[in-house]
Amino acid sequence: MVTYGEISRYLLIKDPRVVGWALHANKNSKVPCHRVVNKEGRLAKNFAYGGEKAQREKLEKEGIGFKDKIHVNFSKYGIIIKK
Query: Domains in the chain, please, with CATH?
Result: 2-77 (1.10.10.10)
At 82 the pLDDT is: 63
Say what the pTM is. 0.86
How many alpha carbons fall within 13 Å on the CB side of residue 36?
21
Identify which of 35, 39, 32, 48 has the alpha carbon closest to the alpha carbon of residue 6: 39
pLDDT means per 10 residues in the chain (83 residues)?
93 95 88 92 86 93 94 82 64
Long-range contacts of 17-20 (CB under 8 A, 24+ apart): 20/44
Residue 83 has a pLDDT of 62
pLDDT computed for residue 19 by the predictor: 95
